Amino acid sequence: MIHKSPVTEEVERETGTGTDLWSVIISPSIWALHFLACYIAAAIYCEKLGRDAPLDSVRMLVIVVTVLALGGIFWSGIRLWRVHDRSLTNNDFEYEHNTPEERHRFLSHVALMLSVLSAIAVIYVAIPMLYLETCR
């Protein structure tokens, strides 16, 4: 059922303890903050300035926040990629065994792909702002 891997004993990683659960949720948390920032900024702006107000300044804000969020996710992704890439064996997509090395590789993979998903979601959320003109 399972292929035997050469790495079955516990190997100390040169990258230290590697990925933990917190780094898995960094990117989606950035998405959540970005989402809240966009929504709250636009909601307050439109409520205070009325429905005819042009969106220009809040659009700039959303673009800036989006760039920051993507930057953050990119940073988190690069960090994970480095750790992931420095895997001690060649079978990067194998993490069915009970070694810290494979646990680590697994979490890096999950975190990395979550970064991709978060980046897509950040871009999705920013799109409406590029098309709408006023608070209507």
Q: Which two tokens stand for residue 126?
A: 């920013």
Indicate whether 92 belongs to the interface with other proteins (CB under 8 A): no
Indicate whether 74 belongs to the interface with other proteins (CB under 8 A): no
Angle between the N-to-C axes of helices 26-49 and 56-85, in degrees from 0 to 180, rounded to the nearest 10: 180
In the list 43, 63, 64, 67, the residue contacting other proteins (rule: CB under 8 A) is 43
Question: Measured from the CB atom, is 43 or 60 closer to other proteins?
Answer: 43
In the list 14, 16, 21, 90, the residue contacting other proteins (rule: CB under 8 A) is 21
In the list 32, 33, 61, 88, the residue contacting other proteins (rule: CB under 8 A) is 32
Candidate ranges 63-71, 76-84, 106-114; the one touching other proteins (CB under 8 A): 106-114
DSSP codes of every residue in the chain: -----S--S----TTTT---HHHHTHHHHHHHHHHHHHHHHHHHHHHHH-TT-B-HHHHHHHHHHHHHHHHHHHHHHHHHHHHHHT-SSS-TT---SSSHHHHHHHHHHHHHHHHHHHHHHHHHHHHHHHH--B--
Candidate ranges 70-78, 83-91, 107-115; the one touching other proteins (CB under 8 A): 107-115
44 close to 134: Cβ distance less than 8 angstroms: no
# residues near other proteins by CB under 8 A: 49
In the list 33, 68, 88, 110, the residue contacting other proteins (rule: CB under 8 A) is 110
Candidate ranges 33-41, 63-71, 74-82, 83-91; the one touching other proteins (CB under 8 A): 33-41
Indicate whether 136 belongs to the interface with other proteins (CB under 8 A): yes
